[in-house]
Structure 1
Amino acid sequence: MRALLSGYYGKGNGGDEALLATLLQMLPPDVTPVVLSGNPEETSRRYGVESYNRMALFPVLKALRSCDAFIWGGGSLMQDVTSRISPFYYGGLMALAQMLGLKTVAWGQGIGPLVHPQTRWLARRNFAGCTKVSVRDRSSSALLSDWGIPHILAPDPVWALESKPVPELADLPTPRIALTLRNHPHLTPKRLTNLTRALIDLQTATQAFILLLPFQKSEDLEIAEQIQPQLKNSSQTICLEDPQLLKGAFRGVDMAIGMRLHSLIMAASENCRCFALSYDPKVNRLMENLAIPGWDLKDLPDDANLISQTWIDYYQHGQALSSEKIQSLLNNAFLHRELLREIL
């Protein structure tokens, strides 16, 4: 069997690459994956798979016709807040796959926000036409239940991604605090300044080595490069494109401060205390589900001292998820694998 995998792949986003790596890890061994990618050459090289340009019409149509199944491979593909075009791209591919009679799977999805009636109608139609559906959060599950669409609810698949140690981290000082910020309208220059001041105070109070981990160079690296010179010599920016290494970078990290959803998931899965800075409802959902402390960026305190003291208190007294909780999340994430085995 050949399965066409569609997601935000090949765009340099560590979280979406982690979803692809997890999906490839979970596919039954007798299924041949074919990946639609923003950088098909790099995707083929990294994962050893057949890959096509996700925006090239005729190769995409040819790939669809050559496959037996079509999989939305994780993430918030059906949402219309960051892009009005995105749901029509992914929804159009799903509708076409369903018209061609392929087995269709919506895998590890986080649905919404869907604020426009047209995209909400399209999403409902897409999900209703799927052979199998799995979602990663209670809000998405509730929406599908309202629509009367059968599905399974399981933690984000990346909980189950196998991590690899990063050799160059072994010689870095401890304790360590990891930071992942991304470019976003809510991260205004004033807020970034306050966060940087608070981070300096946190480092002074804890004597921690700050590990800056850009998850997407185009969105994160510039911010990391603005912050690092202010952290003296006790910091390092590390860009890791292999998602298994990126997850492994959180091994031996005492605390992670992150905007990106998958930075928090990876850190928590590696037994690291997490503090969230939310820019998106999906991050708020994770904070609620796992009782992760943090702020919505829109509500970030104006006082850098209050931010730093909150971080220091959490560093000194906060707790990572218990090993039992982490194991439970990992085990339940494998429900996404069982879904694939049932249909493929």
Structure 2
Amino acid sequence: MVKMRSLLCGYYGQGNGGDEALLATLLQMLPPNVTPVVLSGNPQETHQRYGVETYNRKAFFQVFQALRTCDALIWGGGSLMQDVTSTMSPFYYGGLMALAQIMGLKTIAWGQGIGPLLRPQTRWLARRNFAGCTKISVRDRSSATLLSKWQIPCLLAPDPVWALESQRVPEISHLPAPRIAVVLRNHPQLTPTRLTNLTHALVDLQTATQAFILLLPFQKSEDLSIAESIQPHLPNVSKIICLEDPQLLKGVFRSTEMVIGMRLHSLIMAAAEGSRCFAISYDPKVNRLMEDIAIPGWDLQNLPDNPNVISTTWLEHYANGQPLSSQQIQSLVDRALLHRELLKEVLGD
């Protein structure tokens, strides 16, 4: 068996549950002959959690040395090439990919959601990067269409996190049932007025359903303060649950009747575990998922101004909405495993 070292690059070690789930899934899918080397914002934490060799993603000399010892570079999932939330992000990831290609490494863009790319220079860089990749897999039709327009072949499959193995969270079983999970994140369009309206709607929803509310910060730095602002309005009927392990985070949704989520991977995890989902979209990637698996919801900027309208809509979905069937979930998981086959094709012995 030919041993290979692969450098995994993504938004890892930043405390974001979705990106950690992508890393956990990638590690789960790597062929057995591959030794992973991970670039992380918190190398020590990533090493302790996954038992892998790690380097500081912001230390150029460490990154360059890691590249020199590796046979392949993998962009490890998510919206790495986009210029909306960060103008520097595409230049970091794009520069790293370009350097790996110059050095002759096999390069894989894995589980990518491309864009939005609003600036000509980032579109040019993205096109150049993807054109130089050994293999590419994308997670949505919009990304596949863009690559097709650029005449760059790719594999289209559902987000890899559909196939992440979840783990049961024992502490959840001790909380009252039924349960509704809420995953909100900081965003400029989540104004104080909108947050107040959502909070009032949650109080009304809880009163009507007598459900226990789980407030789940997927990224503490962005989400915890919002959860803490909501929780006092739901005394004795809510709990803030902070989990770092993505398999446990996904496992929480085994025990929820419904999830109200802004974050993409909260909706994927919840749907994969058989929970009803209601989306509040702040990003085109969430809208793509809503279209793909028929999740109801609103764009954040179009959130109703009346809390009663919000709570009534939620209550209707709680009472009559349907989760994905076991057959639908299995189909999505099976197709997500195509990302694993691509890795095996390029890196396997």
**Structure 1-normalised TM-score?**
1.00
Residue 34 in structure 1 maps to residue 37 in structure 2: yes
Aligned counterpart, 2:336: 333
Secondary structure of 1:170 counterpart: helix
Q: 1:265 aligns with which of 268, 272, 277?
A: 268
- Tell me, in whole angstroms, the C-alpha distance in 1 between the residues paired with 2:118 and 2:172: 43
Secondary structure of 2:332 counterpart: helix
Aligned counterpart, 1:151: 154
Aligned counterpart, 1:56: 59
Q: 2:92 aligns with which of 89, 93, 118?
A: 89
Residue 79 in structure 1 maps to residue 88 in structure 2: no
Q: 1:226 aligns with which of 218, 224, 229?
A: 229
Q: 2:256 aligns with which of 253, 264, 281?
A: 253
What displacement does 1:252 show? Answer: 1.7
> Which AA in structure 2 matches 1:305?
N
Aligned counterpart, 2:5: 2
Unaligned 5+ runs, structure 1: none
> Which AA in structure 1 matches 2:339?
H
> Which AA in structure 2 matches 1:40?
P
Unaligned 5+ runs, structure 2: none
- Tell me, in whole angstroms, the C-alpha distance in 2 between the residues paired with 1:278 and 1:287: 9
Q: 1:296 aligns with which of 296, 299, 303?
A: 299
- Tell me, in whole angstroms, the C-alpha distance in 2 between the residues paired with 1:165 and 1:236: 18
- Tell me, in whole angstroms, the C-alpha distance in 2 between the residues paired with 1:33 and 1:12: 20
> Which AA in structure 1 matches 2:21?
A
Does the 8 A contact of 2:180 with 2:258 survive in 1? yes
Instruction: Provide the aligned length of Structure 1 versus Structure 2.
Output: 344
Secondary structure of 1:249 counterpart: helix
1:1-344 superposed matches below 5 A: 1-344=4-347
Secondary structure of 1:319 counterpart: coil
Secondary structure of 1:283 counterpart: helix
- Tell me, in whole angstroms, the C-alpha distance in 1 between the residues paired with 2:295 and 2:172: 26
What displacement does 1:232 show? Answer: 1.9
Tell me the alpha carbon deviations over residues 113-132 of structure 1, each in whole angstroms, 9 at most, x when there is no partner.
00100000000000000000
Tell me the alpha carbon deviations over residues 273-314 of structure 1, each in whole angstroms, 9 at most, x when there is no partner.
000000001001101111100000000000000000000001
Secondary structure of 1:168 counterpart: helix
> Which AA in structure 2 matches 1:130?
C
> Which AA in structure 2 matches 1:192?
L
> Which AA in structure 1 matches 2:75?
W
What displacement does 1:257 show? Answer: 0.2
What displacement does 1:30 show? Answer: 1.1
> Which AA in structure 2 matches 1:66?
T
- Tell me, in whole angstroms, the C-alpha distance in 1 between the residues paired with 2:193 and 2:292: 30
- Tell me, in whole angstroms, the C-alpha distance in 2 between the residues paired with 1:64 and 1:104: 11
Percent of paired sites with the same residue: 77
- Tell me, in whole angstroms, the C-alpha distance in 2 between the residues paired with 1:18 and 1:35: 14
> Which AA in structure 1 matches 2:23?
L
Does the 8 A contact of 2:83 with 2:117 survive in 1? yes
> Which AA in structure 1 matches 2:161?
V
> Which AA in structure 2 matches 1:22?
T
